[in-house]
Structure 1
Amino acid sequence: MLEGAKCVWSTTLSTSLHWEAYTLKSLPSHFQTDYLVELNLPDSSVETLWSGTQDLRKLRHLNLNRCRQLAEIPDLSKAKSLETLCLCDCESLVELHSSLWHLNDLVKLSMRNCTKLKNLPRNISLKSLKTLSLDGCTSIAEFPFVSDNVEELGLSWTAIEVVPPSIECLSKLRDLRLSQCKRLKNLPDTLGGLKSLRHLWLGNSPNVTIFPVLGNGIETLALNGTAIEEVPSTIGDKLSLVFLDMSECQRLQNFPPGLSNLKNLKFLYLRGCTNITELPQIAGEMRKLDLYGTSIKKYGFLSEDEALVMRNRDMDFLKGFLTRYVRNYKKNRNSR
């Protein structure tokens, strides 16, 4: 057994090895992998795991997070049962072994903040893959073509410029992250065909100028720091929307009336939207309404002095306050 390692043996001879901050540049040449099911070496100094091809038929989980000296991934062609591969913050990793793209049992591939990684295959057709995290891979410039089984796709802080219309093929996609993509242009209208999409993150992608076309099942929408000027009237169809962040959208104009249809909306952030002059017609019981830095002067039932105080502070409305606002709004609307 390797000294200092935590190794768990079951009656079936399957093993799990966890060795945090392993200090050598590779595992010993006599290290046996035949019955290895789980290998965890986070925060280690390894540059390579081993040479050649190892018998990894039992291996299901491989965690090399924060192995900042790791320069290469070994041949994984024998790891047919591998389900999760974690390579976050492997800052020296430039490319991945081609065997990786033939692991059809792989469910999760996480490579966040691999800043030198750039050479991904054009078509990642891993049929079992559900989660692909490339957030912070600043050298990635092309949108990856992935299996239509993918449910979570993280591409924030990448150099991607274009999301292809073929994204409509990702029929099971639930979570799409594209925040801090400084080169990213507007998203294709085919995004609206993704009926499973629930969460879209586009914050601080400054070249996005058009409100994205989305299905009505969207729940979380972060568009803060974009150059969007107008919210379409179809916003009123997003009845599942709970969270909407458009803070620091300095070109954004007033909202259409359709916002009042959103009974489930709990969080609305418009901080720093200097062109907003009218209070959005909200409905339901809000938890957070942030209007700091807008140009709103009238707040419904509030006096002008009260409105001025509200406009110049962080508007973290309490539930009771918002309930009172909504009741007054509905009362005034019904009396017309």
Structure 2
Amino acid sequence: MKLNLLRQLQVKYIDFLLKDRDYSVVAGLERSKDKALISISQENTVSMHDIIRETAWQIAGQESIEDPRSQVRLFDPDDIYRVLTYNKGNEAIRSIVVNLLRIKQLHLKPQVFTKMSKLHFLNIYTAGTRDIRFYEPWGLYLHQGLESLPNELRYLGWAHYPLESLPSNFSAENLVELHLPYSRLKKLWQEVPDLVNLRVLMLYSSSNIKELPDFSKAPNLEVIDLRSCVGLTSVHPSIFSLKKLEILDLEDCRSLTSIRSNVHMDSLRYLSLYKCMELKDFSVTSKNMIMLNLELTRLTSVHPSIFSLKKLKILDLEDCRSLTSIRSNVHMDSLRYLSLYKCMELKDFSVTSKNMIMLNLELTSIKQLPSSIGSQSKLEKINLVFSSIESLPASMKDLKELTSIKQLPSSIGSQSKLEKINLVFSSIESLPASMKDLKGLRHLDLRYYRNLSSLPELPPSIETLDARECVSLESVTFPTIAEQWNENKKKVVFWNCLNLDERSLKAIETNARINMVKFAHRHLSTSGDAQAIYVYPGSRVPEGLTHKTTHDDDD
């Protein structure tokens, strides 16, 4: 029955929460899984079907009716109201789970938990149709404060905790997880207790917290979530000495100006400083760092130590509008995704990684890619929308997706792996004839390409061609009729291309017929919603179509 309270937790945390000398938690979970009572995901997260959960509640509820004094688990709103309002708690109670949106107004006395010395799980949360961000704790009041919390607590969750600190006599020695989101806390503890068992700390959206306690007494902390703690002005240095810390989320801590540590951390894998809009100074490293998010900060440069992180896969510097240069002499090993989107002042760029897959330089002021980027043999996608880059290095051979560039090289046909080209809003005046040699090209997006006057022959591999609003387009070239029978086009759009000459319009119509016939033949024996689309200017329905109309059909 305890599992009913622990849905969506990882197995390792459930093991800590239910730890018992006479009981193997992991073995118990496996037995429950074998009986289809729970499921365990690839991420080792435990889930329980709603029907099974409801059944468990009904069984526990029946037990409480038969003998209220032996109630171990409290989750019925009426039972909880009775116990908390009239101080009916006792040592039998092990867990309380209450949704504040489903319970009557509670005015608690300071001694409300005094008799519940064996309470292990306390979860006061909000869940329902109302948005938690705008919820005010009208349902629960502690007008005279809180005298104590049970020292046996292993899981403490209290959304909108209404006091400025936790009780000073709460030892917290047994705590494994502490969840106090949207709290009114100013200081977590007056004096930091021994937190040897604490693994998870969630204080997100506690806007009154200005500083964090010393975490040297919490050596096993693995997750710290401080998102939207907008009043937080500093991070205690002890955090960077935690040997087991894996996740540190400081998203939207908008009062932080500096995060710096001389300690090279061991276990930190994920660090987010997204929307820390006043952050100007940053230097934190970890030998196991996988993801670093510095989006929407005020950094003017990136500390060189970042480029020495051997396991870093994702580096997000989007919208760092004060960033002018990002340069490294170190050829990184593991970096796969680098985004500099909207770094509008960025002019100097030289970062390479042998495993880079995606590079986003949209809306930057970079004018030239370093020649060394051609050595990035795994680079598949590069986004240059509204950037100042005019050409690609000749050494770049393995791209799969190219988004916008000021000038396509005449040798573009040598990009044998290129599958998608996006030239939306491009100002290029012409496309190179070598495009017909792009044997793997499947998607070409030319929307709003207003300077394009002619479209060269394209390879037979093309499946979608979108040239809507190419208002200057006059001519389109197709291969021979015999070669067109090798095509498999599914979508071709020349909407509002009103300057196409008569030869091109006839060629488009012929190409449409060929591909429609092939499409119909291919899908004749299949069921489903398969469709092919051809859109081009004209005032008549093409001959050969048996179902014709000049009216729109919206039904």
TM-score under structure 2 length normalisation: 0.50
Shift, 1:19, TM fit? 1.9
Q: Is the 8 A contact 2:210 2:233 kept in 1?
A: yes
Whether 1:55 and 2:169 are equivalent positions in the alignment is: no
Higher RCO, 1 or 2 (CA under 8 Å, sep at least 6)? 1
* Secondary structure of 2:248 counterpart: strand
- Quickly say closer, same or farther: Cα 1:234–1:285, change in 2 above 3 A: farther
- Cα deviation 1:74-108 (Å, max 9, x = unaligned): 22111000011111111000012232222121111
Match of 2:408 among 221, 238, 255: 255
Aligned to 2:378: 240
- Partner of 2:454, secondary structure, is coil
Matches within 5 A, 1:1-336: 9=121, 15-190=154-329, 193-210=331-348, 212-231=350-369, 237-249=375-387, 252=390, 253-256=406-409, 257=411, 260-261=414-415, 263=417, 268-274=421-427, 277-278=430-431, 281=435, 284-286=440-442, 289=445, 292-293=448-449, 295-301=451-457, 309=468, 311=470, 320-321=490-491
Residues 122 and 99 of structure 1: CA distance in aligned 2, closer, same or farther (over 3 Å): closer
Residue 289 (structure 1) shift: 3.9
Task: Name the CA distance, whole Å, in 1 between partners of 2:466 and 2:291.
Answer: 41
How far did residue 260 of structure 1 move? 4.8
Q: Is this contact kept in 2: 1:218–1:240, CA < 8 A?
A: yes
Deviation at 1:139, TM superposition (A): 1.8
Distance in 1, matches of 2:362 and 2:188, equals 42
Per the TM alignment, residue 114 of structure 1 is displaced from its structure 2 partner at its CA by: 0.7
Cα distance in structure 2, aligned partners of 1:67 and 1:262: 53
Return 5+ residue gaps in structure 1 as ranges: 313-317, 323-327, 329-336
- Provide the secondary structure at the position in 2 that maps to 1:167: helix
Matches of 1:8 and 1:292, distance apart in 2 = 62
Deviation track 1:173-219 (CA, whole Å, cap 9, x = no partner) reads 1000111111112321425x112010001000012225544224211
Distance 1:78 1:308, change over 3 A: closer
Q: Distance in 1 between matches of 2:440 and 2:275?
A: 37
Amino acid at match of 2:431: E
C-alpha spacing 1:38/1:309, structure 2 compared with 1 (3 Å): same
| 1:8, distance to aligned residue in structure 2 (A) | 5.4
**Counterparts of 1:259 and 1:65 in 2: how far apart (Å)?**
51
1:237 Cα deviation from its structure 2 partner: 4.8
CA deviations over 1:240-295 (Å, ceiling 9, x no partner): 334332222256431343685362x5565444443575369566355674654564
Aligned equivalents of 1:184, 1:59: Cα separation in 2: 38
Q: 1:40 to 1:266 in 2, by over 3 A?
A: farther
What's the % identity of the aligned pairs?
30
Tell me the distance in 2 between the aligned counterparts of 1:259 and 1:158: 40
**TM-score where L is the length of structure 1:** 0.79
Listed one character per residue, the Cα deviations across residues 102-125 of structure 1 (whole Å, up to 9, x for unaligned) are: 212111111011111123224242
Change (3 A) 1:267 1:113: farther
SS of residue in 2 equivalent to 1:309:
coil
| Pair 98,164 (structure 1): closer, same or farther in 2 beyond 3 Å | closer
Distance (whole Å) between structure 2 residues aligned to residue 232 and residue 299 of structure 1: 30
RMSD (Å) for aligned C-alpha atoms? 3.5
| CA shift in 2, pair 1:43/1:268, >3 Å | farther
Which residue identity is paired with 2:190? S
More helix by share: 2
User: Which protein is bigger by CA-based radius of gyration?
Assistant: 2
Counterpart-to-counterpart distance in 1, 2:161 and 2:419: 46
Counterparts of 1:60 and 1:283, CA distance in 2: 53
Check 1:239–1:125 CA distance in 2 against 1; reply closer, same or farther (3 A cut).
closer
